[in-house]
Amino acid sequence: MEYRSQKIAYWYFAAALPLFVLQVVVGLWLAASYTFTIPQSIVNVFPFATARAFHTNLLVLWMLLGFMGGTYYIIPEETKSEIYSTNLAWFQLIALLVTGVTALVGFLFGWTQGRPLLEIPMALDFVVVIGALVFLFNVGMTMLKAKNWTAIQGTLLGGLVFLALLYLFGIPFYRNLVIDWYYWWWVIHLWVEGAWELVTAAIFAFVLMKLTGVERQVVEKWLYVEIGLFLFTGLAGTGHHYYWIGAPRYWLWIGGIFSALEPVPILLMVFDTMHHVKERKEKIVNPLTWTYAIGCAVLHFIGAGVWGFLHTLPQINYYTHGSQVTVSHGHLAFFGAYALLNLMTFYYAMPKLKGIAEYDDRRGKIGFWTMCSSMMIMGLTFGVAGVLQSYIERVLGMGYMVAQGYMRLWMGVTMVAGVFFLGGLLTTVVDLFTLRPAKVQT
Amino acid sequence: MTKKTAFRIFLIGTISSAALFLWATYDTQRQVATLSHVDKLSDQVVAGKRAFQKYNCNDCHTILGFGGYYAPDLTKVVQRVGEEGIRYRLKSPELAFADSPRKMPNQHLSDQEIKDLVAFFSWVGEINNNDWPPQDSKKRLSRGEQMMVAKVGVSPGAAVFQTKGCMNCHSLHGTGGTFGPALDKIGASLSAEEIGKYVRNPKGVNPNAKMPSQKDNLSERELDEVASFLATLK
Ligand code: HEM
Ligand SMILES: [Fe+2]
């Protein structure tokens, strides 16, 4: 830690981790709802829908907290100055947490906007917007005052502003369901395949540069190419969600072609990560942090690039759309790209924030490998269930519940893999909170 | 490649894609009016959409393929189970799903909300969305039907019965739903003509019938085939 104000990042990370655990616990309940028959009396008071709103909103909340913490950690080192105001950073952390908790409790009592992933009621949306504005102001002022412009800062700020702007399209009530979904994807798709990719690329470039000691000029050159390709493919690529919503037919062409290219920048990220690691100028001090970086690049590519490509062409998407195939991809992509990115940042920053040069990574390794392998298994079992569903329900034309009958076994296996995932996650969280210096080898 | 070239790649990539995207957005806004029949988007339909959101239906059911995957897609629900079928499921889910391994919560909807929801689903079902979902498509003979006829040697009527949703409610030899009566021996009491008349308009034959008319669900050919198949079950 070089600047005192970086310390605030710790509290963002500390807030994010328990929320991640809660997300996974609720996820196990969801898997159980597919595997067993939940009695009517429970369904009446705690429907699947409420649990799903919990699962997805917790995901977004902890990841945004992670990104913000990551940003507050990086900005001082990039700008070579303290954060503009740590008080604002505190205010904004508390505002976001209070809003998040209020929203979750509200869901239990049916206070919802009732749109998947954007369930937060409009009144709370405005608090979120205020929090976001405070955050952007704080980050922007730090950069403006320091005047040490870098491509990493620019990408980070650009991604964050884009992210906040897109959120606005999710707030209104739309009368027409077609228009509703059209702009719903401006939040969901343009977040994960646009704004979040920019934020991720910037954070990733920073950590990689610091770890490997590769020159800034080289890292930032690749950063430009990557974000250029991300936006080139990702913006028009939104069309892969407009095939079946009642939008004009040309979206089959635009969406199909552009989104089929979306894996290219992700693959490029894998290549340049490998390249930088090979050409490193620094010793590998904390191997687990490096493992996280490489794991993130590779699983980002598998989950988003490969799994995304598999169902992105209209000819295939016609049968897999809105099935467990989508779920398989959603889990692998979010985990590979954004959960691992955040955890990598935590493993990079937490030891420094605690003043540990070289940490004991034995527990952390177990956590990493348990999480990654159980998530891969979940991706496969969701995938098998999804292929069964696409074939039985959509190709053969048999009833929804008939297909669900065949899928039940696989949802059960997913639940078991989920228990292992929770084990790996708890190991990781405990490890991060209680990092110890490694014993010096003699 | 220099950093400057890299920056240029970034600018060109972003601007070209954004321009295409924004133009297509403008054009889509224009065309959606026709594609979604905005002239039929009444206040009641909008009230139905509000109810749909109020009860968070969308986090269990998909609609147009988006949402929770825990319950059947609702895009073509009117075509599939009929307006009466929707009302029954909304009013008394604990009865409708008594024998299903998956339950739907009773949300105690008002009669007005139920009417609005039905209007909403009727409007959604007419959206011109490139014929999705495939299982509800009228245009294609499902692969299941084709295979049963060609390979398993069942009659076309039996294939229709198995694949077009009849078995969501009715059973044969213990397989199928329990909303409606088992039809193992239906041919003993009704002729093909009588069955054909009934499935086209159940209420016309029995005013208390809960079964939705299959006229919109099946083509004329399919209706005739399924009727003559059922008449053979004695
Ligand atoms: C890290 C990046 C990504 C994340 C986190 C992500 C996540 C998701 C999620 C959660 C959904 C489901 C949304 C819903 O309907 O509720 C989804 C859908 C989809 N994603 Fe991604 N995705 C990513 C990248 C990609 C890429 C690069 C592609 C294409 C190459 C892609 C292709 C698709 C497609 C085609 C769907 C629609 C599935 C359907 O029709 O139901 N995704 N994605
Ligand atoms: Fe997408």
Alpha-helical regions (H) of A324-361: 324-333, 340-353
Residue A181 lies in a domain: no
Nearest to B135 among A179, A181, A394 (CB): A394
Question: Would you say residue A177 lies in a domain?
Answer: no
Q: Given a cut of 90, is residue A192 above it in pLDDT?
A: yes
The CA–CA distances, whole Å, from A246 to A44, B32, B130 equal 33, 7, 7
What is the per-residue pLDDT for B147? 65
The domains located in chain B, with CATH, are 38-125 (1.10.760.10), 137-231 (1.10.760.10)
Give the model's pLDDT for residue A153: 97
pLDDT(A440) > 80: no
Confidence at residue B142, expressed as pLDDT on a 0 to 100 scale:
60
Residue A281 lies in a domain: no
What's the complex ipTM?
0.96
Residue B222 has pLDDT above 90, yes or no: no
Q: With beta carbons less than 8 A apart as the criterion, state whether B74 and B61 touch.
A: yes
Give B59-77 pLDDT, tens digit per residue.
999 999 999 999 999 999 9
What's the pLDDT tens digit per position in B124-138?
Answer: 999 999 999 998 887
- Structural domain ending residue among the three candidates A131, A149, A167: A149
Chain segment A96-147, per-residue pLDDT in tens:
999 999 999 999 999 999 999 999 999 999 999 999 999 999 999 999 999 9
**B72 → closest Cβ in A220, A234, A400:** A400
Per-residue pLDDT, averaged over A180-196, amounts to 98
Q: Over pLDDT 70: what percentage of chain B?
A: 93
Q: Quick one: which H or E segment has residue B165?
A: none
Mean pLDDT of the region A389-399: 91
Highest mean pLDDT among B19-23, B198-202, B214-218: B19-23
Q: What average pLDDT does the segment A249-273 reach?
A: 98
Is the beta carbon of A170 within 6 A of some atom in ligand 1? Answer: no
Q: What is the pLDDT of residues A292-306, one digit of tens each?
A: 999 999 999 999 999
- Which of A79, A114, A149 terminates a domain? The answer is A149
Cα A193 to ligand 1 centre (Å): 8
User: How do residues A411-436 score in pLDDT, each as one tens digit?
Assistant: 999 999 999 999 999 999 999 999 99
Residue A236 lies in a domain: no
Q: Is residue A205 part of a domain?
A: no
For a ligand 1 pocket test, name from A180, A193, A227, A319 the mutation site with the most ligand atoms within 8 angstroms of its C-beta.
Answer: A193
Residue A392 structural domain: 319-434
What is the distance between the alpha carbons of residues A399 and A389, in angstroms, rounded to a whole number? 10
Upper half-sphere CA count for residue A139 (Cβ side, 13 Å): 27
Q: Of A336-350, A367-381, B80-94, which gets the smallest average pLDDT?
A: B80-94
Q: Is residue A220 a contact partner of residue A152, using CB atoms and an 8 Å limit?
A: yes
At A1 the pLDDT is 75
Is A244 in contact with A321 (CB distance < 8 Å)? yes
Which of A291, A425, A296 lies closest to A367 in space, CA to CA?
Answer: A425
Q: Which pLDDT score, from 0 to 100, does residue A208 have?
A: 97
What was the pLDDT predicted at B141? 58
Q: Is the pLDDT of residue B167 over 90?
A: no
Average pLDDT over residues A8-32: 98
- Give the CA count within 13 Å in the CB-facing half-sphere of A422: 16
Give the ligand whose atoms come closest to the C-alpha of residue A308.
1
Residue with CA nearest ligand 1 atom 10: A330
**Mean local confidence (pLDDT), B199-220:** 85
**Residue A417 located in a structural domain:** yes
pLDDT, mean of residues A9-34: 98
The reported pLDDT for the residue numbered A442 is 54
CB atoms within 10 A of CB B189: 9
Name the packing angle between helices B111-125 and B43-54 (round to 10°).
110
Looking at the domain assignment, is residue A24 inside a domain?
yes
What percent of chain A has pLDDT above 70? Answer: 99
Instruction: Say what the pLDDT of residue B159 is.
Output: 84
**Model pLDDT, residue B108:** 97
Q: What is the pLDDT of residue B10?
A: 97
From A259, A262, A269, select the one nearest A299 (Cα to Cα): A269
CA of A71 to the centre of ligand 1 (A): 25
Is position A137 within any domain? yes
Verify whether the Cβ–Cβ distance A40 to B94 is below 8 Å. Answer: yes
How big is the A-B interface in CB pairs under 8 Å?
Answer: 236
CB nearest to B100's CB, from A228, A323, A401: A401
Alpha helices in A169-262 (DSSP H): 177-190, 196-212, 216-237, 251-260
Of A129, A149, A169, the residue that ends a domain is A149
d(CA B224, CA B197): 10
What's the domain count of chain A?
A: 2
pLDDT surpassing 80 at residue B28 = yes
CB A304 within 8 A of CB A266: yes
pLDDT in tens, A73-99: 999 999 999 999 999 999 999 999 999
Tell me which ligand sits closest to the C-alpha of residue A307.
1
Higher pLDDT, B144 or A272: A272
Distance CA B78, CA A273 (A): 52
Q: Does residue B191 surpass a pLDDT of 70?
A: yes
Distance CA A343, CA A335 (A): 10
Residues of chain B in contact with residue A321, where contact means CB-CB under 8 angstroms, are 65, 132-133
Report pLDDT for B80.
85
